A and B are shown apart, each in its own frame.
Chain A
Amino acid sequence: MLAKLGDWLDERFDWHKVWEAIFLRKIPHVNWFYTLGSATLFVAMTQAITGILLTLYYVPTPDHAYDSVVYITTQLPAGWFIRGLHHWGASAMVVLTVAHLLRVFFYGAYKYPREATWITGVFLLLVVIGFGFTGYLLPWDQKAYWATTVGTQIAGIAPFAGDWILRIARGGDELSAVTLARFFGTHIWVLPAALATLIGVHLYLVIRIGISAVPEKDE
């Protein structure tokens, strides 16, 4: 049945070619470090799913944000689990992204002709850090509040533009309802859009160019 549907679609737009290009492409003999990128992608997907689930209940206003998080964690069936996955997944994202970056760096895989892949990867790292920074504020507890106070203050030290950056990040002088709302909007709309676009380009390049082999000793 499923095979028949597959054949029917294949006859129309040859999707099998796409499948083969992605999953059955030729790769050099590599090692387990080469799975770090896929691992990052996998965690990104679980982050998307658990994040969408969290938005069903989370409210980004100072008077209800914390209460809605407590509600998710203590009242909802499996709420602690969904939130827990998102919480730990966030740390895993940063760790895996950096580990992936280090593998590419130490194997010299960023060199010609893969510079563009590397550059999109660097932007992806920035997006992941942005996710971490904006997501950290959302529970609106003491830790979140003061971490963001300090974080935005650090941004404020930047020469010349510092004060502007601080005010734009906070949406004013102080951390407020405006800050929470814009961090939320950034966390669930702006960054996911950037992430999806960059991952699309990144993966296209990985598949299009092919991955590099483990470098030889004398290379």
Chain B
Amino acid sequence: MSMHRNNRLGRRDFMKAAIAAIGGIIGAAIGLPAIPYIMGPALKKDVGDWIRLGTTTKVELDNPTLFKTTIETQTGWINAEEEFSVYVLTDNGQDFVAMSNICTHLGCRIRWIPDEEGFFCPCHNGVFAKDGSVISGPPPRPLDRFETKVEDGILLVKRG
């Protein structure tokens, strides 16, 4: 029925195969470029650039100090200024630990409360110690840290 006698490809089957092949090529020509087109921005990683926070003398001894700075970001077609906050801790004025202010649980902003000696997250009561380790609550890991360096008395951290 579908094949002719002596196994020759019939007209109808040839047309079917041709339509399937051409349709497949056209489908692939549109479908395949669509994948990187959709995925493109998701695959783009931020480059880790160095961000200047301020003079090292501003960092209080043994007390997490908040540095706020604005950074220029480019997302898609929008250039924007974004606030970037880092807690910096030092116990000798020489070595610095820079910690992200983003809770490792679900990304809310944490805050250092000096009287309570802890970083508190308002969303789900996550609490971190001075060095960023988890004291209580749902956070799965300590606060993220940034690479730091000092240039001419200016503290810099590496983003990303």
Q: Does A64 contact B (CB under 8 A)?
A: yes
Binds A, one of B34-42, B53-61, B122-130: B34-42
Inter-chain contacts of A120 with B (CB < 8 A): none
A64 — which chain B residues lie within 8 A by C-beta? 77-78
Cβ–Cβ contact A82 & B77, under 8 A: no
The digit string for B41-76, where 1 denotes a CB below 8 A from any CB of A, is: 100000000000000000000000000000000001
Q: How far is the CB of A82 from chain B (nearest CB, A)?
A: 6
Contacts of B41 in A (CB 8 A): 76
Q: Is A77 an interface residue when CB atoms closer than 8 A count as contact?
A: yes
- Taking the complex as formed, is B1 at the interface, i.e. its CB lies under 8 A from any CB of chain A? no
Mask, B78-95, CB within 8 Å of A = 1, is 100000000000000000
**CB of B114 closer than 8 Å to a CB of A:** no
Q: How many residues of B contact A (CB 8 A)?
A: 12
What number of A residues sit within 8 Å (CB to CB) of B? 20
- Does B37 lie within 8 Å of A49, measured CB to CB? no
Q: Is chain A's binding surface mostly helix, strand, loop or mixed?
A: helix
| Cα distance A212–B91 in the bound complex, in angstroms | 91
Is residue A214 within 8 Å, beta carbon to beta carbon, of the partner chain? no
A57 CB-CB contact with B under 8 Å: yes
Residues of chain A contacted by B34 (CB below 8 angstroms) = 49, 53, 78, 82
**Given A46-B30, A50-B30, A85-B30, A77 and B77 touching (CB < 8 A)?**
no
What is the bound-complex CA distance between A148 and B77, given in angstroms? Answer: 24
Does B160 sit at the interface, judged by CB under 8 A?
Answer: no
How far does the Cβ of B137 sit from chain A's closest Cβ, in whole Å?
37
Pick the residue among B33, B76, B77, B78 that contacts A78 (CB under 8 A).
B33
A68's nearest neighbour on chain B, judged by CB, is: B77
Known: A53-B37, A53-B38, A76-B37. 16 other contacts (CB 8 A): A49-B34, A56-B37, A59-B77, A64-B77, A68-B77, A71-B77, A75-B40, A76-B40, A76-B41, A77-B37, A77-B39, A78-B33, A78-B36, A79-B37, A79-B40, A82-B37
